[in-house]
Structure 1
Amino acid sequence: MAESNVSQAQASSAAGMPARSLRGLDAVLAEAGRALQVLSGAAQASRPNPAGRQRGEPALSEAEQRHAAGLMRVNHVGEVCAQALYRGQALLCKDSAARALLLRAAAEEVDHLAWCGDRLDELKSRPSYLNPLWYAGSFALGLAASRAGTARNLGFMAETEAQVEQHLDGHLTQLPAADERSRRIVEQMRSDEIDHRATAQREGARRLSLPVRLAMRAMSKVMTTTAYRI
């Protein structure tokens, strides 16, 4: 094993690239691969869809179907952003426990992403055309948040989840009464987001300042308004 490590170090040195740079490159390539999975729709859920198999569900009117699709597209964008945000936070987080928490939350957000994608397909609709923009912006925001220290990093996660909870509460009242499949997905998403927030707070999340919270709400408003249609 020691000889193998020496050989790797020598190979890196011979190529003019130290081992630390190689690890950094590996991390960047891994994140690029994850981004492609998310944006292409290839990411797979690890848990069954809470809506179950599609059977004979009540028919939605054209207007109801369009409205439900708009809401689920907004939810899908939210999961694209959450995936990028948490992975960006985890990438530069120096606290191993906090990093594990962020990556665990990101993994559950993949489930939400896949479920929302499935429902959009059932509603004969599509994800947002602006998903690459949302992903890039959220990942950059996560990188910035990760430099603020563990307590604020977790505080950012807790505040994000608190705002998502409110957002999902609104969707549960706005979804067409007959759209039980979308409702079951949103209810499970809401339960998971509550758990993420509570876990972040339990692990030492620091409450963010009012200006930061208001800025996050403003950005969320722009995203949800745009994603409903585009």
Structure 2
Amino acid sequence: MPDVTMNSVAVPFARRRGPLDGLIGEVDRALRVLAGAATASRAYPAQAAEPQPPLTEQEKRHSAGLMRVNHVGEVCAQALYRGQATACRDASARRLLEQAAAEEVDHLVWCAQRLEELGSRPSLLNPLWYAGSFTLGALASVAGVPRNLGFMAETERQVEEHLDGHLRTLPPSDLRSREIVDKMKEDEAQHRHNAEEAGGVPLPAPVRGVMRLMSRVMTTTAYRI
């Protein structure tokens, strides 16, 4: 009788990860993001803020609207990068997308915490934003690695502009929100640089224009809903 070891019989019965496992993992991740169950790996930037004077009710509402927009942006970033990574066949590009998505989780948690401090809530349309962004990310990946990373770079470029606008319109006394937005902007610039260095190419002007239009619809809606 041949010598049969545990190692020799384990392989045929080992459970290999298939497409269904990946789908279940992405659904679980989406549910945790939408339920606010994600946790940050870095310290809350607002802790570094100097003591600030109390905000007026109007200032609180405006800051909350802007931070809700930022929270929606991070929900979309999570979904975009997970969608891009899921459909990407290049291992190095996939790692870059997954790393960016992991760092965006911090932004998501920080924005949610600031919204709570301001007595407000995230957007009620977050499930819609997530589903649409994940689909868009997967479609971007089909265009090939240079375009996929170019989409990432253009996304981050537009987010940087959007955060610059928030820094101009946040109440001057809302130092806690400013610390968060400043740190987010620093991270987004690094993500853009990483995507460009990894081979991302500029997107056609019509595509950039459509992205800006979609962003405008999202930000206008999320400020209130």
| 1:125 maps to amino acid | S
- Residues 117-172 of structure 1, C-alpha deviation per residue, up to 9 Å, x if partnerless? 00000000000000000000000001101111000000000000000000000000
For 1:88 and 1:137, locate their aligned partners in 2 and report how far apart those are by CA, in whole Å.
10
- Residues 176-201 of structure 1, C-alpha deviation per residue, up to 9 Å, x if partnerless? 00000000000000000000000100
Select 1:196's aligned residue among 184, 188, 191.
Answer: 191
1:85 and 2:91 correspond:
no
| 1:225 maps to amino acid | T
For 1:101 and 1:8, locate their aligned partners in 2 and report how far apart those are by CA, in whole Å.
29
Once the 2 structures are TM-superposed, how far is the Cα of residue 102 of structure 1 from its aligned partner?
0.2
Secondary structure class of the residue paired with 1:52:
helix
For 1:126 and 1:76, locate their aligned partners in 2 and report how far apart those are by CA, in whole Å.
10
Select 1:120's aligned residue among 94, 101, 115.
Answer: 115
Select 2:150's aligned residue among 139, 149, 155.
Answer: 155
In the alignment, what sits opposite 1:100?
A: 95
In the alignment, what sits opposite 1:13?
A: none
In the alignment, what sits opposite 1:58?
A: 53
Q: Which runs of 5+ in 2 are unaligned?
A: 1-6
In the alignment, what sits opposite 2:126?
A: 131
| 2:53 maps to amino acid | P
For 2:24 and 2:55, locate their aligned partners in 1 and report how far apart those are by CA, in whole Å.
43
Once the 2 structures are TM-superposed, how far is the Cα of residue 53 of structure 1 from its aligned partner?
7.2
In the alignment, what sits opposite 1:12?
A: none
1:8 and 2:14 correspond:
yes
Once the 2 structures are TM-superposed, how far is the Cα of residue 54 of structure 1 from its aligned partner?
8.3
In the alignment, what sits opposite 2:168?
A: 173
In the alignment, what sits opposite 1:185?
A: 180
For 1:2 and 1:173, locate their aligned partners in 2 and report how far apart those are by CA, in whole Å.
65
Q: How does 1:37-76 map to 2 (within 5 A)?
A: 37-52=32-47, 56-76=51-71
For 1:2 and 1:52, locate their aligned partners in 2 and report how far apart those are by CA, in whole Å.
55
For 2:98 and 2:144, locate their aligned partners in 1 and report how far apart those are by CA, in whole Å.
17
Secondary structure class of the residue paired with 1:51:
helix
Quick one: structure 1 residues 191 and 129, their matched pair in 2 at CA, closer, same or farther if it must change by over 3 Å?
same
For 2:124 and 2:59, locate their aligned partners in 1 and report how far apart those are by CA, in whole Å.
21
The TM-score with structure 2 as length reference comes to 0.94
For 1:157 and 1:204, locate their aligned partners in 2 and report how far apart those are by CA, in whole Å.
11
The TM-score with structure 1 as length reference comes to 0.92
Aligned-pair RMSD on alpha carbons? 1.3
Q: Number of paired residues?
A: 219
1:24 and 2:19 correspond:
yes
For 1:132 and 1:139, locate their aligned partners in 2 and report how far apart those are by CA, in whole Å.
11
For 2:84 and 2:51, locate their aligned partners in 1 and report how far apart those are by CA, in whole Å.
42
For 1:54 and 1:123, locate their aligned partners in 2 and report how far apart those are by CA, in whole Å.
15
